[in-house]
Each structure stands twice: as C-alpha cells, then as structure tokens.
A and B are shown apart, each in its own frame.
Chain A
C-alpha cells in the first residue's frame, strides 16, 4: 500500500515516518508538500510531528490553511485513513477533522519521555494488531499535548468509542501519575466518529526498532497495512 506523508514548513518527523513505513515496514511512501492540491493515489495519509509554521499563533493553527488541507478533508470524507501524530494531531483538531484542542502541558514544560499507551479498542484499522488493553511503549515529545474538550464532548467520545489510546502504566492501568501532560481522562489519542481519522500525541515512528528502545509503534501501522489486505 502507499502512504503519503504531509510536509509543512517546520515539520520534522516526516523523515522518521518515511523511514518507518518504507524502510522498516517495506511499504510505498511519498512526501506530499503542503502546497499540493491532491492526495490521489494514497491509501493512508500521515501528518507527522514538528512545529508547522513554528507553531506561531497556536500549534497547528496556520498549517490548517495550507492548500493540501482541502484535499485532506476530501480524502477523509471519502473514507481514506489519516494518522495525525503530535503536531499532526494538533493540525487535525485545528482543521475540525477531530474534536477538542491540545493545550499547553499542565506543568508548562516541554516533555520528551517514554510513555505507555493502552489501546482501548482493537477493532479499528489502527489497532487490530494490538491486544485489547495491551500496554504499548511509545514516547511523547511535545509542549502542547494536554487534550481538552468540554465534558459533554468527552462523554460523547467515550460513548462512541472514539478514545483510542490512554496513558497508562506498564501493566496497562490508568493512573494520573502516567499522564505526561495533564490530558483530560488520560487521553493520548482519539479517532473521528467514522473511525478513519486518528490523532495521537505519542510518536509511534520513534518506536519502530528494538534498538531505539521499543518497536511497539509498528503495531499501529501494521494494523493499517492489514486493513488493506
């Protein structure tokens, strides 16, 4: 299958995502410059991490106006799979493709550290390779990853099964001490109602080989690949 990796000025995980899907997982992949107006030919589009437009104004706030975002909206409406990682998650929220916002970390500091994530569902195209409630070792690296939505929205997300990943301990238990940024209900990643757009703060592309400390991040993209078989 063919992955498209969006590149905005200031994106920095583009090469890491490319390396994971192409070199580690052996799939076709191409970079897509933010001025492109079409996403034809891609099966899954990744919005990588970084500081698009320097995150000036607000993380993701300027990138959402890039020409490629219209194409992305059409791509998602047509059921294409979209994975927004870190800054990509922020862009998806700003663009209205996912609900909620990512606020400054509660402790006001940038945080780069390993976290454990629990997959809350294994019947989505992003998680079929994960065990139910399995703890995945995947790192975060962000200053604005504190997920927030009003209580009604959060309740709706929970009801619809849209909360896909939560920060947990290495045994899969949810606790406030495992939450690196103050996110509401330990939320690390959500999907849209239709279930084809994923946004997550942790970086699965950074846990793609045991040499780097974990290859749990591959499970997400292997699930995506499986869904096209």
Chain B
C-alpha cells in the first residue's frame, strides 16, 4: 500500500518516520499498525522532541519511590508507611475545541493516572491560561473550562484545592488547561503498570469503547487551532459518574490482592495502555478486539485500537483470580471483559475474532525516534530584554490608583468566583483551601500534612527562558515554604509552541535547563510530568509555559501558618530584602509594566543561594513559632502582597516610612517583582529573635509596618480604606467578565 501524505498527516508522522517503520518491520505496515505507530510516536506518548531534555531533571531523592517514566505518576515517601503520588497533565487542544468536555476529561484523565498507581485520589489542582477577557471567544473558553472542571471534579468526590489562572494575548486562540491530581497509598500497596507473568489475563473495565477521541494523541496534539475547529467530533466526552464508580471498584479490586498490574487508558487508548504495559513488563500481548465492549456496531479494528473513550482501565490478573476481580466490578455494575493475555515473546498480536489485525514487535513500537533539535534565540529575544528605568515613566495616576488597578487586574484579582464552584472540602482533609500560597491537607491517621501548589510565570520565561525556568521552580517551593512545609518533589507540564522552530526550541531547552538547575540547587526532584507542544495559532506561539506543581511536607499539621494577617498589633517584616533600592530588573516582566505601560520587557533575575536561605529561614521561624503568617511576594510586588494579606481577614496595614523614604521610583519599590521575598507577621517581642536567626542564616530582613485598623497605608504614598482595596481585588475578575 503506497502511503500518501494525507494519511501521514492524519496520524502526524513524517515521510522519514514512515521509512523508518518500513525498515524496522522489513515490510509496509497495515493501516492499524500505522495508526499504532502514529499514536505511540506522538510527542504526547513518545516524547520524541523532549526526551533528551527531560533527562536533565534530577529525578531521585531518598524519598522518591518511583522511577521517572517507569510508572504513571511519581511516588514520594512521606513516612508512616505512606506514599504521595502526583502528576500534572495538559488537555489544551481538546479544551480549545470544546472547553467544557476538554477540561472535564482532562480532570478525568489525570485522576486515572493516579488511580493506576493504586492510590486514592485526594486532591486536584489546576493551572489555566486564557486570552484577555475582553474577547467573547476568550470568555466562552474561560467559562466552559471552569464549568467543565466544576462538573467533573465535583461529581467524583475529589477536592479541588488550589490553582492559578492567568490571562495574556498569547493564549487567545490557544488556552492552556493543565490538571494535577494527588493521591495517597500505603507504600506496600503501590501498584504497577507492568504486564507481569505470561499467561496473565488482560481485563478491560469501565466505559464502552466508542468512536470518540480517535487521533487525540497524534492528531490534536500536533495540529494548530484553526485546523482543530473542524475536529469537534473527535473530542472525548466524559462521564464523571462512571469515573467515580471506576475509582471505587478499582481500589476495591486492588484490595483483593488479585491484580498484578493496572494501567489507565489515556492518550492513544488501548494501543498505548496495552503496549506500554507489555513493554514495562518486558512481555508481549495478545488482544482480541471482538471482546472489547463497544458503544456502537460497525467499528473497525483501527477505531477500537485508537479510541480515546474515557473512564476505562486495563487490569492484569493471573487466570485463577479473574473471577474474584470480576465479582468486584459486578458489584459496582461496571463492565469488565477479558480481552487478551500476556505472552512471553515481546510481540503485540492484535486479532479481531479469527482475523489478524496487527502483529508488531513491542520494542519497535515503543522506541520512538529521538530528535535533538537546534534552538536559537530570535533577534527580538535580546531586544525584549533591554529595559532601563530611564525609558519607563512613573505611572501618571499615582500610587493609590495604581494599586487599585493592579489588584483589579484579572491576573492578580481574587479567583474566588472560580474556586467557589469547585468542591474543595470533600474527604475532610482540607486545612487550607484555595486562595492561599499553597493548599494544606492533613493526612488522616497521622500528625502530618502535605502542602500543594501549582505555579508558573510565563512572562518571565518569555523574557529569559533560563532565569524564568529557575524562577518557576523557586516560586513553587517558596509557596510551599510559606506555609511552613518542606518542599519534597515536583511535577511539571511543559507547554510550548512548535519545537521545530529554532526560537521555540530555544525556549524549551533553556526553560528546562533553568528549571533543572534550580531543582538541583534547591534539592527537589521532578518525579513526573507531561509535555504539550505545538501550542500555536496563526503562526503565533503561546508564551513558554512550564507549569510546575509542588509537594511539601509538614511533620506536624499544627506547625503551619496562613498567608493572611491573623490579628492586629503584629509587626510586618519582609524576608529577603534589606533595602528597597530600585533596580530595572524589578520591573522585568512585571504586572505593572504590562498594565500601566502595556510592555513586556526586561530581564528578570534571581539568586538561588538567597532563595534557598530565605525559604530555610521562613520554615525555621515558622517551626519556632516566631512567624505567624507568611505570604510570598509575586505578581504585583510588595504592595499587592501586603494587600492580599490584609483583605481576607479584614486586618488593616500601616506601612512605615521606609516604604516611601527611597524615593522617586515607587513603581519599583512597591510594585516591582524582585524574587526571593516573603512578607511575614510576628509579635513585636519576637522581632529581635527573628533578626538574630536571620543574621545567622545570612538573610536580609526589613521591617515594613504593622497590622491593625481598617486602613491600608503605604507610608506617605497611599492611605486607603481597606474595604476599598478589598473591593478592587474581590470584584476584579467579575468586572472583567462583564465588561
């Protein structure tokens, strides 16, 4: 069969890759075989452009139980015989086409990744990016995605505890929907995705297999937005009720001890689940497609192998245990069918009743070609980094209006109207919910708690991928440290444009290098992740957006602090800075530069040694009960951070004159986004003690004011009613949606 360019485009393989397949097989593949190659060699499954870079991440630590890439998600030992399992994954392209179902099935997919580790899902987080809300299309995408997460997540009984949302032109046609799931499992019950002994039976459980989502992995993930508009029918449709019973029935089946392997059916459906499971076990498989329960008659073998119907899992069990496992699924009314078995030879035999459908060596399928592309910065890249304070006039409106404008900016404004649509309390572990630096969940049956955060400032990555990558990692860890938790491990989702373009590959490579460097420096491994490339529309790539999710541990759940001011009469200190002298880099990629000057420019900077010391000081002072609240300074700088501390509890802030002593460049001092800073409160009598420890740890600290009253005062610059400040922040997002 001569293969045409149209066919190859459909499955996103190049002519050269087709040639490679023919070489490896020593024959032409049939259409089903070719479809299987296309799916497994896609970026989503095969990481053909990103694997050499992913190796740069440190993946080991004494607490890491899983080997990166060997299982569905990373597992981290938190002591007491428990492991936390977590991973973040993208569902960008489906969400661009059909926001509600795209986001919903993104949640469903990542939950099954965690389930495939044998863990009970205990938390969801998400990271979203949209174009500005003044466009009707962007509002449609935003509302649809939020509704999809709410609809699916609420129904399955897993709390949505933290997240972040940013808006920028670069995401206008290409929204990002990254979902993270966290699970807990006894370390001795961690499940494996490997196929196990030959003769073992493969059970397909869950939803019927339909025609939805075919080419999700290879097709959608490699196409541009305009082409996707026509692909609405290929987007998967979710059934959260079935997901909920699938979670319960699979956990109950694992509890019987009769299941030796478990794998979710995600991108590339049965193809990827069965082949990867066999590959991990060093075995082969026979699959009989006639035994796959289907949603409609007349489906071809190709469609069955590549369907991305949701809510399905593949279980491996010794033949003598099949009945025990089947009974569990019968109890839950979940379909469960024997569809094949594990064989010794590392071959994939796919049959449909009597008819042979595909016959391929496992290794040829899983060994996707690797490409080391060459990156080069665009000429604009260096131009963008130029920024001197001389070119940036002070905002003419003055400090109070700038503060209110920034607080109302959708990037900074409260996201309450979003997260109140998500159940963030079910399972009764949520000690600190959404709206804080990091969520805190207690671990029942122990004295411990975990902290969870997800973050990325893509503007910094756009301006300087290497430093931006470092900052992403530093900030997620800072969020965790701000609760008192020790950062243990990270997961990441690399959202980028088309890597075949040198300037995009440059962004990808240097973001990863920056992240990896920061991970090593701060001692946190990356235990799981996902890559989403080709995020472009009309030739315009999204900002480089490496989303990072972080896991932290609190040995004592009570040794945590909130981010908001807890009471009146406390001293407010800034960790990480001793003088407010302005620098141009303070404004690099800042929200103030964007909002008041419509500019994205400059070169952000970070000192990792300082970052490490600031976080260590914060954690130690929290453990010693010196610090009573802590909030990291990020978008909007010091003034916005202080306002965010005051608003939730209605406790006012009175800034000292140090805030206005230095001068003319109040934009840098109050709204600059210098890294490695945490605003904390403490009792006055503990100030000397904090100063002593800070000096010992070589961390600069600065007294910036005290808490109390109903006003928000920044030295002589601004004196506002706290209620006015709160109104700007709390209503900002809703007003942007209406306007």
Q: Given known contacts A113-B420, A205-B428, is B245 in contact with A9 (CB within 8 Å)?
A: yes
Q: Which of A10, A16, A23, A139 contacts B245 (CB 8 A)?
A: A10
Complex Cα–Cα for A15 and B247 (A): 14
Q: Given known contacts A10-B245, A110-B423, is B154 in contact with A143 (CB within 8 Å)?
A: yes
Q: Which of B155, B157, B240, B428 contacts A212 (CB 8 A)?
A: B428
| Interchain CB contact under 8 A, B427 and A16 | yes
Q: How far is the CB of B372 from chain A (nearest CB, A)?
A: 47
Q: Given known contacts A12-B156, A51-B240, A51-B241, is B421 in contact with A110 (CB within 8 Å)?
A: yes
Does A211 belong to the interface (CB within 8 Å)?
Answer: yes
Chain A hits for B425, CB < 8 A = 112, 139, 141, 203, 206, 212
Does A53 belong to the interface (CB within 8 Å)?
Answer: yes
Q: Given known contacts A53-B241, A54-B239, A56-B241, is B420 in contact with A9 (CB within 8 Å)?
A: no
Chain A hits for B428, CB < 8 A = 16, 19-20, 205-206, 208-209, 212
Contact with A along B319-339 (1 / 0, CB 8 A): 000000000000111000000
Chain B hits for A50, CB < 8 A = 157, 244
- Write the chain B residue with the least CB distance to A35: B331
Chain A hits for B155, CB < 8 A = 10, 51, 54-55
Q: Which of B239, B244, B426, B442 contacts A141 (CB 8 A)?
A: B426
Chain A hits for B422, CB < 8 A = 110, 112
| Interchain CB contact under 8 A, B241 and A9 | yes
Chain A hits for B157, CB < 8 A = 12-13, 50
Q: How far is the CB of B332 from chain A (nearest CB, A)?
A: 6
- Write the chain A residue with the least CB distance to B431: A211
Does A111 belong to the interface (CB within 8 Å)?
Answer: yes
Complex Cα–Cα for A209 and B245 (A): 28
Does B430 belong to the interface (CB within 8 Å)?
Answer: yes
| Interchain CB contact under 8 A, B244 and A51 | yes
Residue count of chain A within 8 Å CB distance of chain B: 32
Chain A hits for B87, CB < 8 A = none
B residues 427-443 with Cβ under 8 Å of A? 427-428, 430-431, 442
Q: How far is the CB of A148 from chain B (nearest CB, A)?
A: 22
Contact with A along B135-175 (1 / 0, CB 8 A): 00000000000000011001111000000000000000000
Does A109 belong to the interface (CB within 8 Å)?
Answer: yes
Complex Cα–Cα for A211 and B560 (A): 11
- Write the chain B residue with the least CB distance to A24: B428
Does B424 belong to the interface (CB within 8 Å)?
Answer: yes
Chain A hits for B426, CB < 8 A = 12-13, 16, 49, 141, 206
- Write the chain A residue with the least CB distance to B417: A109
Chain B hits for A23, CB < 8 A = 444
Q: Which of B239, B244, B331, B332 contacts A12 (CB 8 A)?
A: B244
Chain A hits for B430, CB < 8 A = 212
A residues 170-229 with Cβ under 8 Å of B? 203, 205-206, 208-209, 211-212
Complex Cα–Cα for A113 and B150 (A): 14
Chain B hits for A209, CB < 8 A = 428
Q: How far is the CB of A217 from chain B (nearest CB, A)?
A: 10
Does B557 belong to the interface (CB within 8 Å)?
Answer: yes
Q: Which of B151, B240, B423 contacts A112 (CB 8 A)?
A: B423
Q: How far is the CB of B303 from chain A (nearest CB, A)?
A: 26
| Interchain CB contact under 8 A, B240 and A141 | no
Q: How far is the CB of A16 from chain B (nearest CB, A)?
A: 5
Q: Which of B150, B444, B557 contacts A19 (CB 8 A)?
A: B444
| Interchain CB contact under 8 A, A15 and B427 | yes
Q: How far is the CB of B686 from chain A (nearest CB, A)?
A: 24
B residues 661-717 with Cβ under 8 Å of A? none
Complex Cα–Cα for A20 and B444 (A): 12
Chain B hits for A203, CB < 8 A = 425
Q: How far is the CB of A201 from chain B (nearest CB, A)?
A: 13
| Interchain CB contact under 8 A, A54 and B241 | yes
- Write the chain A residue with the least CB distance to B240: A54
Complex Cα–Cα for A141 and B422 (A): 8
Contact with A along B442-460 (1 / 0, CB 8 A): 1010000000000000000
Complex Cα–Cα for A33 and B248 (A): 13
Q: How far is the CB of A179 from chain B (nearest CB, A)?
A: 15
Complex Cα–Cα for A206 and B156 (A): 17
Complex Cα–Cα for A211 and B424 (A): 15
Contact with A along B407-421 (1 / 0, CB 8 A): 000000000000111
Chain B hits for A109, CB < 8 A = 150, 421
| Interchain CB contact under 8 A, B241 and A112 | no
| Interchain CB contact under 8 A, B150 and A110 | yes
Q: How far is the CB of A55 from chain B (nearest CB, A)?
A: 8
| Interchain CB contact under 8 A, B420 and A111 | yes
| Interchain CB contact under 8 A, B420 and A112 | yes
Complex Cα–Cα for A175 and B578 (A): 49
- Write the chain B residue with the least CB distance to A109: B421
Chain B hits for A9, CB < 8 A = 241, 244-245, 332-333
| Interchain CB contact under 8 A, A141 and B154 | yes
- Write the chain B residue with the least CB distance to A206: B425
Q: Given known contacts A10-B245, A12-B244, A110-B154, is B557 in contact with A141 (CB within 8 Å)?
A: no
Complex Cα–Cα for A206 and B427 (A): 8
Complex Cα–Cα for A227 and B242 (A): 39
Complex Cα–Cα for A66 and B370 (A): 55
Chain A hits for B151, CB < 8 A = 110
Q: How far is the CB of B370 from chain A (nearest CB, A)?
A: 43
Chain B hits for A141, CB < 8 A = 154, 423, 425-426
Chain B hits for A139, CB < 8 A = 425
Choose among B157, B331, B428, B430 the residue with the greatest number of A CB atoms under 10 Å from its CB.
B428
| Interchain CB contact under 8 A, B431 and A112 | no
- Write the chain A residue with the least CB distance to B442: A211
Chain A hits for B245, CB < 8 A = 9-10
Q: How far is the CB of A58 from chain B (nearest CB, A)?
A: 14
- Write the chain B residue with the least CB distance to A205: B428
B residues 236-275 with Cβ under 8 Å of A? 239-242, 244-245
Contact with A along B212-248 (1 / 0, CB 8 A): 0000000000000000000000000001111011000
A residues neighboring B (CB under 8 Å): 9-10, 12-13, 15-16, 19-20, 23, 33, 49-51, 53-56, 109-113, 139, 141, 143, 203, 205-206, 208-209, 211-212
Besides A16-B428, A112-B424, A208-B428, 4 more A-B contacts (Cβ < 8 Å) are A54-B241, A112-B425, A203-B425, A209-B428
The 5 residue pairs across chains A and B that have the minimum distance between CB atoms: A54-B241, A12-B157, A51-B155, A141-B423, A16-B428
Interchain residue pairs with CB less than 8 A apart (21): A9-B241, A9-B245, A9-B332, A12-B244, A19-B428, A19-B444, A20-B428, A23-B444, A33-B331, A49-B426, A53-B241, A110-B151, A110-B154, A112-B420, A112-B425, A141-B423, A205-B428, A208-B428, A211-B431, A211-B557, A212-B430
